Chains A and B, each alone.
Chain A
Amino acid sequence: MTSGITRYEKAAVAAVAVMLVAGGFIFFYAPTDALQGPVQRIFYLHVSSAIAAYGCFAAVLLGSIVYLWKENLAADRLARAAALVGLVFTTVTLVMGMIWAKPIWGAFWTWDARLTSTLVLWIIYAGYLMVRRLADPGRQAARFAAVIGIFGFIDVPVVHFSVTWWQTHHPGPVVINNALPLEMLVSFLVTMACTLFLAAVLVAIRYRIEVLTDQAAEKTVPAPIVAPSEAGGAR
């Protein structure tokens, strides 16, 4: 604190730097796709942010289970922080995918199994954050949200396996099938590592905000209620 720069600020700067490195790999190292042209470069960030979102929602699941089991406040804060960051990464995934789909498929959106299930995922965690806002703060909000955090995670494997379970327009898994040339694979792995780092930093910062919010809420002691007879000069 005395140095003026907190470790959260250092981490944020590092995350920005690391994402610029990823951008360098995406735009200068990875070759242009022969079929799709430059728009294929969206793939690196699109898939990475989807994986980061899965990771965040897994953290929500973990935090929710631990909270319901042990009533552990730290677990609840982790779930709260990760849900918001996961929602942001799901938004990035959806928007990037739509920008890619317009030139390749000719439309921003198709009601494809993977697109639809990802949209449902977004809606579920948006509902999670809504419950947090609308339920009585404290134990009730935490419990209700934890139940949604557990039920909502059911959709994550659905999104992931949707390309295998249903016939979809969405490209199938290319990374684990060794369908990428080496430069593309390296760029993808670098981008994924950088995006996961960014997600971890965002969750850590959000977690800190949740801690401070909880502390502030504890400190606001309600004003003492004084009976009118006492206040207005007894005797």
Chain B
Amino acid sequence: MRTISIALAVARKDLTSEWRTRELVPALAQFVVLALVIANFGFQFDSHNAPAIAPGVLWMALVFAGLVAFGRAFAAEREQASLEAMLLTPAAPAAIFAGKALAAGLMLVICEAVLLPALALFFGAPLSFDVISAVLLATVGMAVLGCLFAAMVARVRARELLLPLLTLPLWIPFIVVGGQAVQSAMSGSGGGTGQATSLLIDLDILFVVLTSLAARFVLDD
């Protein structure tokens, strides 16, 4: 109970500070739309190949937006050295970590709320419940892993360099399974989304448990 209220308090703090500065979310929204523009030139879109390419573009844009979002998750804490202050409180590191991951994940969800309609609008990719649920389920796992490594690289030299190197390999399971789910949902075949959804839930549980166990070693100095 206490852990949950601490996590919610940390998440609220991050979201409030984002609401006051309005730095990250508008930049992310712009970033994903730009990614779609670049993809248009890179792939030479037309109405024939759009359904086949759209899922790939979705995951590419999401992964790189995620890297930007999680790279910023600990930036303010580092500049103000406020993470140390939070760790001095009796709050459990895992609870603080959960709050940070929750806030960063929510910001990525807001960015998805721009990306998915934009994808539907520009590339004619049909949005269905299966697509949205696959993206949201993948976001859970991507948020906890991204936040864990963001916390780690925040204290390391060359952090911008290291975050993608560490995070991307471990995001691959989500991209593989989520990519399959979105591909079959967008092509309308429908088969396999149920299995992919349950696999995504399994992956989420695995990584939420692992990261909450590891959070203590990464945050605590």
User: Which residues in A have some Cβ–Cβ distance to B below 8 Å?
Assistant: 68, 120, 123-124, 126-127, 130-131, 134-136, 140, 143-144, 146-148, 150-152, 154-155, 158
Contact = CB atoms under 8 A, between A and B. Distances in A.
Contact of B214 (A120, A124, A151): A151
A127 B168 CA distance: 11
Interface stretch (B2-10, B27-35, B58-66, B158-166): B158-166
Contacts of A147: 148, 152, 214, 217-218
B166 A127 contact: yes
B205 interface: no
B150 to A, nearest CB: 12
Interface in B169-221: 169-170, 172-173, 206, 210, 214, 217-218, 221
A92 to B, nearest CB: 20
Interface string B119-155: 0000000000000000000000000010010001001
A94 to B, nearest CB: 15
A52 B169 CA distance: 22
Given A127-B165, A130-B165, 7 more contacts: A123-B165, A127-B169, A134-B162, A140-B155, A144-B218, A146-B217, A155-B169
A151 B209 CA distance: 12
B156 interface: yes
Contacts of A144: 152, 156, 218
A140 B219 CA distance: 10
B202 to A, nearest CB: 12
Nearest to B145: A151
Contact of A140 (B148, B162, B168, B221): B221
B157 interface: yes
B158 A134 contact: yes
Interface size class of B (residues with CB under 8 A): 20 to 34
Contact of A135 (B145, B155, B165, B170): B155
B166 A131 contact: yes
A121 B169 CA distance: 8
B214 A131 contact: no
Contacts of B169: 120, 123-124, 127, 152, 155
A151 B148 CA distance: 11
Contacts of A143: 217-218
Contacts of A146: 217
B162 A151 contact: no
Q: What is the interface of chain B mostly: helix, strand, loop, or mixed? A: helix
Given A123-B169, A146-B217, A131 B210 contact: no
A146 B217 CA distance: 9
Contacts of B172: 120
Nearest to B217: A143
Contact of A150 (B145, B156, B214): B214
Nearest to A146: B217
Contacts of B145: 151
A127 B169 CA distance: 9
15 contacts: A120-B169, A124-B170, A126-B165, A127-B162, A134-B157, A135-B155, A135-B157, A136-B156, A140-B155, A146-B217, A147-B214, A147-B218, A151-B145, A151-B210, A154-B170
B36 to A, nearest CB: 24
B165 to A, nearest CB: 5
Contact of A68 (B166, B210, B217): B217
Contacts of A127: 162, 165-166, 169
A146 B210 CA distance: 13
A75 to B, nearest CB: 14
**Nearest 7 CB-CB pairs, A to B?**
A127-B165, A124-B169, A135-B156, A147-B214, A127-B166, A134-B156, A134-B157
